[in-house]
Structure 1
Amino acid sequence: MAGQETGYPLHQACMNNELSKVQEIVEHMTNPSVEIVAKDSDNRTALHWAISFQNEEIVTYLLSHMKDADVDTLKDDSLWTPIHIASSVGNSNILKQLIEGRNVDLNLQTVQGTTPIHLAVSKKHLQICKFLLENGASVRIKDKQGQLPLHRAASIGSMGLVEMLCKEGRSPVNVKDKQGWTPLFHALAEGHGDVAVLLVNTFNADYDLEDNNGIKAVDVSLNENVKHFFIKHVHE
C-alpha cells in the first residue's frame, strides 16, 4: 500500500491506528490545514486511510483540523472521496462526521461511475443507504455499466434495499443497463425469485421487456426452480 511508504508517516500512523502518533505529527506541522491533506502516490490523503481502517477517533481528530477543507476535492486515483470510502465500509458515525456542517455532493462518481449509494448497496449497508437518501443522494445515476443502485440491490437479493430504493428513493424499475437488463433480469439471473416477484407485484416491473439479444427476464432465470417460482407468484 502506498501509505506504507516511508515518505508518508501520517498516512502510516492512520493505518496503524496510532492516534498519539497522528497528533504528534499534526502538532509539528508548520501549516496543518495544508499539510494534513497531502496525498500519497495513490492520491490518497491520511483521511482516506483513517476511514478505510475505520479509526473513528483519528477521523474526528483529522477533521477538527480540516474545517475549511472541501472533502469533495479529496479524490484518489480512482476518484474515490472519503465519502465513497465511508459508504463502502459502512461506518455511519464516520459518514455523519464527514457530512455534518459541510456542503458535500453525495452523487460524485468514481472512475467506474459508482456513487456512494451504489457502494453502500453493494455491501448491503441498509442504514448507510437510508442516511444517504435522507441527505439527498440520488438513485437515478448510472454507473459505467449503465446500472442504477437498484440493479445492484436486485442482483444481491436484498428485499430491504429494493423496497427502500423504490419507496423512499423512488427509483425507476425498468431502466436497462448496457446489456439491456433491468433490475428484474439481475434478480432472476442470480436466483432471487422473491425479489423478482416483489419488483413486479409491488413496483410494477415490466417482465415482458427484452434485453439486447431479444431475451426476456424469465428466460435468464438461474434455474428452473427460480423460473417456476416467479411464474407461480407473479400477478398476471
Structure 2
Amino acid sequence: MSTLEKLYPLHQACMDGNLAKVQELVEELATPDDIVALDSDNRTPLHWAVSFQREEIVTYLLSFMKEIDLDKLKDDSEWTPVHIAASVGNLFILTQLYDREIKPDLNLQTKQGTTALHLSVAKKHLSVCKFLIDNGASVRLKDQKGQLPLHRAASIGSMTLVELLCTQGKSPVNVRDKQGWTPLFHALAEGHGDIALLLVNKYDADVQLEDNAGKKPADVALNEQVKKFFLQNLA
C-alpha cells in the first residue's frame, strides 16, 4: 500500500476509479463532514474524482454532499471542483456540479484570477464554454495578467470560440491586458491572421491602439507574411 493510500484512502480510491472501494470507505466515515476531508494539497476526494473524470464516483459523492457549498472546497491554488471540470472539459461532470440546490459560482476566480471560462477557453472545450455562458459566466472578468477569456481565444486561434465570446457572450474586444495588448495583439503575435481579421472586420477591434511599448497590433505580428496578410485584407 502506498503512503498516499495509507494517509488518504478515499482520495486514492477516487483517483483509481474504484467505485466499490469509495462506497466502502464512505460507509465507514465517522461523520458526514469527513467526505470533504483535505489531503496535503487541500484537495477533497471530489477534486480528485473530477480531475480523473470518474463520473460514477462524482455522482455518488455528490449524493452525500447536498448541504455542502462547493465554492468553499478550494485547493492550494484556490481551484474548486468546478474549475477542474472546466479545465478537463467534462460537460457531464460540470453539469452534475452545477445542477444542485446550492449552485456554485461560475465566476469564482483562482489565485491566478482565472475563472472556469478562462480555463475551458484555453483548452478549446467548446461545449463547456457554451454551458458556462448560458448559465451566466461572465466574459468580462480579468485574470492576474489582465486578460479576458477572449485574449486566450485569440491566442490559441479558435475562430469558433472568438465568435462565441463576442456574439453570444458580448465580450468587449478592445480591453488591454497588463502589457497593453488587446486580443488583436495576441492573435497577430501568435500568427493567427484569420482571427485578427475577424476581430477587426466583424467585431470592430481597433487597429490603432498602442500597447505599453508604443506598438500597434500589426507591429507585433509573428512574421512579415502574417502582417502582410492582415493589412491587405482589412475591410
> Under a length normalisation based on structure 1, what TM-score does the superposition of the two structures give?
0.97
| Unpaired runs of at least 5, structure 2 | none
Residues paired across the two proteins, number: 233
- After TM superposition, the structure 1 = structure 2 runs for residues 1-236 of structure 1, keeping only pairs within 5 Å, are 4=4, 6-32=6-32, 34-101=33-100, 102-235=102-235
Give the drift of 1:35.
0.4
Give the drift of 1:189.
0.1
Following the alignment from structure 1 to structure 2, what is the Cα–Cα distance between the partners of residues 72 and 5? 26
Identity percentage of aligned residues: 69
| Structure 2 counterpart of 1:53, one-letter code | F
Give the drift of 1:54.
0.2
Three-state SS of the structure 2 residue aligned to 1:35 is helix
| Structure 2 counterpart of 1:19, one-letter code | L
| Unpaired runs of at least 5, structure 1 | none
- After superposing on structure 2, the runs of 4+ consecutive aligned residues of structure 1 that deviate more than 2 Å are 3-6
| Structure 2 counterpart of 1:197, one-letter code | L
Following the alignment from structure 1 to structure 2, what is the Cα–Cα distance between the partners of residues 45 and 230? 48
Following the alignment from structure 1 to structure 2, what is the Cα–Cα distance between the partners of residues 123 and 103? 24
| Structure 1 counterpart of 2:46, one-letter code | L
Three-state SS of the structure 2 residue aligned to 1:6 is helix
| Structure 1 counterpart of 2:120, one-letter code | A
Give the drift of 1:112.
0.6
Give the drift of 1:229.
0.7
| Structure 2 counterpart of 1:109, one-letter code | Q
Following the alignment from structure 2 to structure 1, what is the Cα–Cα distance between the partners of residues 16 and 132? 29
Compute the RMSD of aligned alpha carbons.
Answer: 1.2
Give per-residue Cα distances to partners, 1:63-112, cap 9 Å, x unaligned.
Answer: 00101110000000000000000000000000000000232210111111
> Under a length normalisation based on structure 2, what TM-score does the superposition of the two structures give?
0.97
Give the drift of 1:5.
5.3
| Structure 1 counterpart of 2:155, one-letter code | S
Give per-residue Cα distances to partners, 1:205-230, cap 9 Å, x unaligned.
Answer: 00100000100000100011110110
Following the alignment from structure 2 to structure 1, what is the Cα–Cα distance between the partners of residues 5 and 213? 49
